[in-house]
Amino acid sequence: MPSRASRLFPREAIIPLATSLLALAAWEALVDSGLLRAAFFPAPTNIARTIFDLAVGGELWRHAGTTLARLMASFLMASVPGTALGLAMGWWMGMRTAADPLVRLLFPIPSIAFFPVVIFYLGLSEWGLLLTAAITPFLLIAVQSAAAVESLERTLLEAGRNYGASGRRLFLQVILPAALPRLFIGYRLALGVGFIVTVAVEMIAAKHGLGGFLWHSWQILRIEEMYVGLVLIGLLGILVTYGLEALASRLMPWQADMLRLKGQR
């Protein structure tokens, strides 16, 4: 039976934590020794102090909350229609024939490249920012959703039909659960891409949010605040990624059990 210490500090978390602490300690030592210029590479302790001051003043929460809200809104705008289109493309040949060429044409274009076009129609508005951040995740989810359905084994569908599943019941009880693992791979990739684009667009066209905060800090040479922005972007990325993994584990408990048996968790 695992000890209390092993439950509080699992082995999978100890190594990354120890590595991070060693890296921060080395950074601090290099700054103290003068090998790194503090003007451009502030010591981690100074960055931590700046984070505390911004958190107490409320500015940190305002920018982080704005970016998180934009990320969740753009991800919702991408995931719902993207999943619907992808599943339809994977299940119906006619839909795949009609939509696949357009998806393949747009997929290689980075989301940020659509920003000038979006500005023409929506201006420098919140909707324009959200739409720009949602385009590539939408296409990525559509492609992955179609692949998830196309990769289903024929024997699985035949078994479902033999047990009386057809139409909506076949889709909800057989196709969707079987496709979920690959769907969540697409969601995770799309969330990462959406986060990158959200921060990039904030740097270009937003005063609020972590991207805007980072860019403004660079413009006025508040270097410690610039590093605070980088740290918060990284931490927020970790938060949303692990949050999505936790949701996947809740929706697919059998998948987590299989990974444990394979020694991957």
Convert the pLDDT of each residue in 95-133 to its tens digit.
Answer: 888 888 888 888 888 888 888 888 888 877 888 888 988
Nearest-angstrom CA–CA distance, 138 and 140:
6
Q: What is the pLDDT of residues 171-198, one digit of tens each?
A: 666 667 777 788 888 888 898 888 999 9
**Owner of token pair 């993207």:** 82
Average model confidence (pLDDT) for the chain? 80
At 261, is the pLDDT very low, low, confident or very high (cuts 50, 70, 90)? very low
pLDDT at 72 (0 to 100): 92
Is residue 44 pLDDT above 70, yes or no? yes
Nearest-angstrom CA–CA distance, 244 and 265:
16
pLDDT at 157 (0 to 100): 59
How far, rounded to the nearest angstrom, does the alpha carbon of residue 19 sit from its chain's CA centroid?
Answer: 23
Alpha carbon dihedral 34, 40, 46, 50, in 10-degree steps, equals: 170
Name the amino acid, one letter, at 229.
G
Q: Mean per-residue pLDDT for 206-231?
A: 87
Alpha helix segments (H runs only) across 151-209:
154-162, 167-170, 176-205
Nearest-angstrom CA–CA distance, 7 and 21:
21
Is residue 52 pLDDT above 60, yes or no? yes
The answer to whether residues 63 and 213 touch, using CB atoms and an 8 Å cutoff, is: yes
